[in-house]
Amino acid sequence: MNREIISSRQGIVLMMLFMFGSTFVVGAGGEAKKDMWLAIILAMIAVMPMCLIYANLISSFPGKDLYDILILTFGKSIGKIIMLVYIFYALHLGGLVLYDFNEFISTVGLGGTPRIVPGSIIMLLCVCMIKQGIEGLGRWGEILLPILLFIIFMALILSIPNLKAGNILPVLEDGITPVIKGAVSTFSFPMAETVLFTFVLSSLKSTKDAYRTYILAIIIAGSVILLSAIRNTMVLGSYVISLNYYPTFVAVARINIGNFLQRLESAVAINFLITGFVKISICLLAASKGISKLFNFDDYRFIVVPAGLIILNFSFIVTKDAMELRSWSEVEPYYAAIFQVILPIIIFICSKLRYGKVYNKGIQ
């Protein structure tokens, strides 16, 4: 099979859309309450060293993704065990995002529709896209990201009359502990979830662009998420945010310009459809590639359908309801740290010890 190629720009676009994912409707850093903006900034700073590790792994092994690096570094036996762990992570994360998608649709729009219906439709679209390859997803993202950013910034601008500075002041009223908790939560969701792009960015025209791709995506997407969090806090206040599962949806619903320009929350739904689709697709791609390499298949595309069915089933078993999902979010950073921090650092150190500064020559 010919190697799929995406540009650095497409890599940045896909990573931004991936990070937006369900973050806009669910929110980020809620544990920090009115200081969630500060938690997001700390998370952006904290995730940079891990992103540099992810990028270094990709750039040091040209044309190889993390699955290949595992086999090269640890051998087939241990490498495939770790490979299984990451396959599970991709499937589980895809199931969680798909659950968010179903829950959002059920809550704000189609309450009487069985959740299998919207879930199956979005999964079918993701399967069709990934069967076309990462190149198609990259071109699709380039077209839709400008539309999504336009919607986001128009919603921010139109929310200005509803902003109340008192909702965000005073800073650190509850101390630094909630901010740290919010930063840890934002670090694991959504920023360090970009570890899955170690299975995607091997398709870059030049894997040396992995550094640029990671850094720019984190800065740009993180800044947009930051502005959205500040808007939500200033419009709703931390107490109202704590009572709502979808604070962005509620904040945008309050836009009312001259009793004419209102009911714009449908724009939030459009954003979620776009970004949720990309995030599920990336999870599906990562899982499909892993399963194909686990069994030494030459092409991952015929694995996409069964992997999609697994994600669809996961979306019904990962959590029972939104309350249980909130409880899960309290332990999720510790669970995610295995895939986002601990394993990547171990892989990074072991690859350096095995190949040193000249291991590139050993894998050509």
pLDDT of residue 112: 76
Residue-wise DSSP of 107-121: HHT-TTS-THHHHHH
Kindly list the structural domains of the chain, giving each domain's residue range(s) and its CATH number in brackets, ordered by start: 8-359 (1.20.1740.10)
In contact, 20 and 220? CB cutoff 8 Å:
no
What are 263-280's pLDDT values in tens digits? 777 888 888 888 999 999
> What are 154's two structure tokens?
């128009």
d(CA 338, CA 86) in angstroms, rounded, equals 10
What are 125-151's pLDDT values in tens digits? 999 999 988 999 999 999 999 999 998
Give the Cβ contact number of residue 331 at 10 Å: 9
d(CA 33, CA 337) in angstroms, rounded, equals 23
Nearest CA-CA partner of 131 in 13, 299, 277: 299
d(CA 267, CA 249) in angstroms, rounded, equals 9
The set of residues, in sequence order, having a beta carbon less than 8 Å from that of 93 and lying 6+ positions away, is 193, 196, 283
Please give the helix or strand (H or E) that residue 261 lies within, else none.
Answer: strand 261-262
What is the C-alpha radius of gyration for the chain, rounded to an integer number of angstroms? 20
pLDDT of residue 358: 42
Sign of CA dihedral 291, 294, 296, 298: positive
In contact, 34 and 167? CB cutoff 8 Å:
yes
pLDDT of residue 30: 80
Tally of CA atoms within 13 A in the half-sphere of 35 that contains its CB: 20
Q: Which 8-state DSSP code applies to residue 339?
A: I
Which portions of the chain are predicted below pLDDT 50? 1, 358-359, 361-364
